[in-house]
Amino acid sequence: MISVQDAAGIPGAAVLRLPQTGKIGHIVLSDGRGGTVEAHSSARGVVADTLSGRRWDFGVLVPGLRYFRGEAVVVLDPPPALVLRLTSPPTRGALVQALQHVLADRGFAVGAVDGVFGPQTAHAVRAFQDSQGLVADGEAGPATLAALGLR
């Protein structure tokens, strides 16, 4: 996330307005000169507009893309470390399933190996962490994933 002011000077930066009660959100792309390229409406289609005089909440630069401010490359901070944890809705995916497989192979009861980080998986992570002298918080962050050979 970056400020709207920073996004205004970076072509391709996304600028977002979050929905508020009774109103819709909106996403535009910055043209790098204070303007936007946006899908305005079904009646107007894709238009060039301006950031100025409109409510915006923040800008976003997508990791993995190269952005420029003038001729200079915009250097992005590395994304925060990955942490698998119990969330609502539950965290899901291939890495969760790999975590479950490794824990189950080591004798920790994860419940179904289904790629869903549920309470049983959190409990298995906590038990593994405790067995390894790691902070037993039930969250599979960089240290736990590395101890399991997953990072």
Question: For 50-71, what is each residue's pLDDT tens digit?
Answer: 999 999 999 999 888 899 999 9
In the chain, % of residues over pLDDT 90: 85
Q: What's the CATH fold of domain 94-147?
A: Muramoyl-pentapeptide Carboxypeptidase; domain 1 (1.10.101)
Contact 7, 15 (CB under 8 A): yes
pTM over 0.85: no
Domain with CATH 1.10.101.10 in the chain: 94-147
Which range among 59-68, 70-79, 85-94 shows the weakest confidence by mean pLDDT? 70-79
Question: For 9-32, what is each residue's pLDDT tens digit?
Answer: 999 999 999 999 998 899 999 999
Radius of gyration of the chain (CA): 21
Q: Look at residue 80 in the predicted model and tell me its pLDDT.
A: 72
Nearest alpha-carbon partner for 110 in 84, 77, 78: 84
DSSP state string for 91-148: PBSHHHHHHHHHHHHTT---SS-SSB--HHHHHHHHHHHHHHTS--SS-B-HHHHHHT
Contact 132, 147 (CB under 8 A): yes
